[in-house]
Structure 1
Amino acid sequence: MKLRVAILGTRGIPNHYGGFEHISEYVSAGLVKRGHSVTVYNSHSHPYQSNTWNGVNIRHCYDPEYLIGTPGQFVYDMNCLLDARRQKFDVVLLMGYTSSSVWGWLYPHKSTIITNMDGMEWKRTKYSKPVQQFLKYAEKLAVQYSQYYISDSKVIQAYLADKYNIQSSYIPYGADVFTEQEREQINPAEASKEDYFLLMARMEPENNIETILEGFNNSNSDKTFKVLGDTTNRFGRYITEKFKKDERIEFKGSIFNTPKVRQLQNNSYLYFHGHSVGGTNPSLLEAMASEALIAAHNNPFNKSVLNTDAFYFSDATEVRDLIENVQRKDTEQTMVKNNLNKIQDLFNWETVVNQYEEFIVECYKNSNYKRVVPNLG
């Protein structure tokens, strides 16, 4: 069965922003290779302005975020939905719900609606209490107006079952194994083997960047600490100012060159993953696929992926202890190898795209175009 599928809820592809854009690249191109017609909605201001990408149709919709900030995301999502209503897609796949579920009554009535339920956005500490309350409401609307649901983490899957009594399909993100060709491209001048620590994240409080850098700042390490991420936002400026006197800390900015990121991950002495909210994080999987030794924030999301194959921290003191004491011996190499095996067996893109295709086709076959509204309490 060949379907007409639309993917909404992202800023667009190819990825210049984050996780949902990243997975949308792979899923859209993968579905096209399997014979489906796929359309991804892009912001009109996206750097990529062509109407097709790797066989995927691109529709550009007006996005006023650059003019009015966050409210512009709601206008952009509304514009995408209004356009999608005219296209008669078989399936509409919504990546997240933050600024789209308020328009649930605009969801295309004759399309099968599937929502990737994201990762408890209302837990993010960057949001004020009123915003967190709104996000809980938006989550409830997403459950109400969607027909089928995807969870990218088993923790999220369990939460949705408990909170809303709904069944969601667990489909994680994926990652590509670090290839020999990528290894050969390593520039020793840019990244000597294991002479630095590494962190890659959006500059947001819940990613524990301050905790990690505080621990490093208090350590006696003679290694450098490379930080990848855009520091032009408020929290980014705060972090760079706070640690500007530590010459060992290098803020490298955002890097979207995947081979270069993979090289940096592979060469790092220890890769710090501080994400504490959300589902299966793409940068964590990429670090595993790049054969990095990982230290992760101690929370159920990270543990559900890494299990015992990582070091864990909860505060700056524990980070400092890791900085000063972690070795690179047989036990650590086994941890790296185990994580690579997980990528090859569970989190590879071929498997992920197959799961998306199977679920989308199944949902379409079972759809009666009526919303399934569970008891929301």
Structure 2
Amino acid sequence: MKIAVLGTRGIPNHYGGFEQFAEFFSVYAAQKGHEVVVYNSHNHPYIEQSYKGVQIVKCYDPEYKMGTAGQYIYDLNCILDIRKRKFDVVLQLGYTSSSIWSFLLPRKALIVTNMDGLEWKRTKFSKPVQKLLRFSEKLAVKSSDVLVADSIGIQQHLQQRFGVDSTYIPYGAFQFDQPDAAQIQSFEVAPHQYDLLIARLEPENNVETILDGVALAKQTRKMLVIGNHQTAFGNYLKHKFGNTHNIVFVGSVYDLEKLNNLRYFSNIYFHGHSVGGTNPSLLEAMASQAYIVAHNNIFNRAILKENADYFSTAEEVADLVSHKQKSDNLRFVSENFGAIATNFSWEKINDAYLQLFTTRLAENQQPKN
């Protein structure tokens, strides 16, 4: 197959979840003998024209000049380039800034869209932008040949709102089983003597609820908050919790080895995401053998099932911080670690995508009655 991947800033990953998936999937598909093109922003730091057998096409991306509006121009440039090439499959990762150009997608290619999360629920967006995103979601559903939902919650949403079927393929992770306590020394914490939150500091990730609970608990154990705090909401949180001395705003950390060790050696790992699909950071916490306390919603429960503790309020967080230890919840840790190999291995996820493409292309080639 000849496969195009768009909707990310590019590979190798220097940004986030979809970029990581694009890297792992495209390299896997290329190793299986398929011709794969990944579209990169012209600002991406990787300057070569191929990466581990994957062809890279760079397109002009004015986001650095225009902000979010620039993403729409970048996606347009990618789609215009796609029209020049004969792809069997176009894999779109997300729809927020590409679906308005869906009428330009090549009709002969199989259009597969990973529908991401409920982007229109994100409170960082104004009401007009949320309305636009709901419209974009509708366009993506109408213009795609195949919809992929990376969580059961998203699959149910697509069925309930649009009456359409989708294929459930979750995100993936690699099991982490070689901890090194030296990797956490620079954070001035001792193994299992700190709690941890890794997230974009946004309201729908329940960061404030978690930190309210930590403050209520009046524990001396450190709470590390990892994520870019140089934002309006980040500044608000730093001001609100400035006198809660065990809450430490670390900032962004991109070193995967450090992140895996921080998760492994944490006492409680908090996961507050509430509007996404299968969030990559949740699987990475499972894969890193963290004891997880998650926000109580359908997305998190579909992945963790009964192998976590859940919270909805700051008071519940405070109670968990005061009374829960990783050492008392090793069964949760073991079950989640095993689930990565059974249900969320990258090889299984990547192969599921290729099998989906192969099956649907074969169906399309069959003569119609």
TM normalised by structure 1 equals: 0.93
2:244 paired residue number? 246
Alignment gaps of 5+ in structure 1: 370-377
AA of the residue aligned to 1:364: L
1:132 paired residue number? 130
CA RMSD of aligned residues (A): 1.5
1:77 paired residue number? 75
Q: Aligned equivalents of 1:296 and 1:337: distance in 2?
A: 17
1:270 paired residue number? 268
Q: Aligned equivalents of 2:326 and 2:65: distance in 1?
A: 49
Alignment gaps of 5+ in structure 2: none
Alignment of 1:255-334 (within 5 A): 255-330=253-328, 332-334=329-331
Are 1:64 and 2:62 counterparts? Answer: yes
2:341 paired residue number? 344
State the SS of the aligned residue for 1:143.
helix
Deviating more after overlay: 188-197 vs 339-348:
188-197
**Is the contact made by 2:184 and 2:258 (CA closer than 8 Å) also made in structure 1?**
no
Superposed CA deviations along residues 53-92 of structure 1, whole A, max 9, x for unmatched, are 2221111111111111111110110011001111211110
AA of the residue aligned to 1:33: Q
Are 1:189 and 2:185 counterparts? Answer: yes
2:216 paired residue number? 218
Superposed CA deviations along residues 220-273 of structure 1, whole A, max 9, x for unmatched, are 211111111111222222222222222212222211111110000000000000
Deviating more after overlay: 319-328 vs 278-287:
319-328
Are 1:208 and 2:218 counterparts? Answer: no
Q: Aligned equivalents of 1:178 and 1:168: distance in 2?
A: 31
State the SS of the aligned residue for 2:83.
helix
Q: Aligned equivalents of 1:184 and 1:195: distance in 2?
A: 15
AA of the residue aligned to 1:189: Q
Q: Aligned equivalents of 1:136 and 1:194: distance in 2?
A: 42
Deviation at 1:185, TM superposition (A): 6.9
Q: Aligned equivalents of 1:349 and 1:186: distance in 2?
A: 28
Identity %: 49
Q: Aligned equivalents of 1:117 and 1:25: distance in 2?
A: 18
Q: Aligned equivalents of 1:221 and 1:367: distance in 2?
A: 60
Tell me: CA distance 1:155–1:148, structure 2 relative to 1, closer, same or farther (3 Å). same
Deviation at 1:285, TM superposition (A): 0.2
1:170 paired residue number? 168
**Is the contact made by 2:99 and 2:139 (CA closer than 8 Å) also made in structure 1?**
yes
Superposed CA deviations along residues 307-342 of structure 1, whole A, max 9, x for unmatched, are 111111111111111111113345x10010011111
Tell me the number of residue pairs that the alignment of Structure 1 and Structure 2 aligns: 364
**Is the contact made by 2:227 and 2:251 (CA closer than 8 Å) also made in structure 1?**
yes
**Is the contact made by 2:148 and 2:167 (CA closer than 8 Å) also made in structure 1?**
yes
Larger RCO (CA within 8 A; separation ≥ 6):
1
Q: Aligned equivalents of 2:8 and 2:247: distance in 1?
A: 32
Deviation at 1:187, TM superposition (A): 3.2
Deviation at 1:184, TM superposition (A): 4.0
Tell me: CA distance 1:38–1:130, structure 2 relative to 1, closer, same or farther (3 Å). same
Superposed CA deviations along residues 181-206 of structure 1, whole A, max 9, x for unmatched, are xx247436245210111001112110
Deviating more after overlay: 65-74 vs 190-199:
190-199
**Aligned counterpart in structure 2 of residue 149 of structure 1, from 147, 150, 153:** 147
AA of the residue aligned to 1:167: D
Deviation at 1:160, TM superposition (A): 1.1
